[in-house]
Amino acid sequence: MSALTITYALLFYAATLVFVVGTGAKIRSYLRTPAPLKIPTTPAPTTRSGVGLRMAREVVFFESLFRSNKWTWILGWTFHAALLLVVLRHVRYFQEPVWTLIALVQPFGTYAGFAMLAGLAGLWARRFLVDRVRYISTPSDHLMLALLIAIGGSGLAMRYVAHTDIVALKAFMLGLMRFDWQPLPADPVLLVHLALVALLMLIFPISKLLHAPGLFFSPTRNQVDNAREHRHVSAWAAALEK
């Protein structure tokens, strides 16, 4: 077993552990954070089913962003939709045999990589070209966009510039899941791509990318607008009243 294979195997075990435990801890923190006020953004639904529908529209169509800024919505929705296809395409490296749905996604996932990069480039350009956005942008915002672009660019480079041994790569990934390590191809572009993905997994629990699970815990989105019908008492306040 080569030192390269051992290094990357340990790197991905560590990155997966940090990603799962760190994200789980953040979600646990969100669950335990009290919401003492009734603050749904109006016009808000007055039933739980309405809240579910609203959340579905927000997750799938980015409804609030669409109402706020059409250009940002186009770029953001394009990036996220393309990212979903790219992730689904990569599921094949962790399956044997490959599910039919994942097999059908493959051709779309290839071209989605270009759409993902286009959306990211537009979102990054916005942080330089729009004064109010440039003013509130921090170095971490730029570094995160640069990291995502580097991941997408290196992935496309393996597809169209420097081809790698996909069969060996899949064997390596399946081997990680089965604790039966297989040799990792030593292609430079592949190694850079995998290292960047591992870095993304490591910093995910402490980055702004947590807006993905955090959306579901936003009181402005997940609360029913029934303040006139029912008194809202958070869990910690209810405990004090007892």
Spatial distance between the Cα atoms of 73 and 53, rounded to a whole number of angstroms: 19
The answer to whether residue 77 sits within a structural domain is yes
pLDDT, residue 168, reads 95
Instruction: Kindly state whether residue 237 falls inside one of the protein's structural domains.
Output: no
Domain count, the chain: 1
Give the residue ranges of the chain where pLDDT is below 70: 235-242
| Structural domain of 195 | 3-34+41-226
In a domain, 236, yes or no: no
Q: Residue 156 domain-assigned?
A: yes
154 occurs within a structural domain: yes
Predicted structure pTM score: 0.91
Task: Please report the pLDDT score of residue 242 as a whole number.
Answer: 59
Answer whether residue 9 is part of any domain: yes
pLDDT on residue 36: 83
Residue 11, domain CATH: 1.20.950.20
Q: Quick one: pLDDT at residue 233? A: 73
Amino acid identity of residue 121, one-letter, is A
Residue 233 lies in a domain: no
Q: pLDDT value at position 226?
A: 86
In a domain, 146, yes or no: yes
How far apart are the C-alpha atoms of 219 and 106, rounded to whole Å? 37
State the pLDDT at residue 85.
96
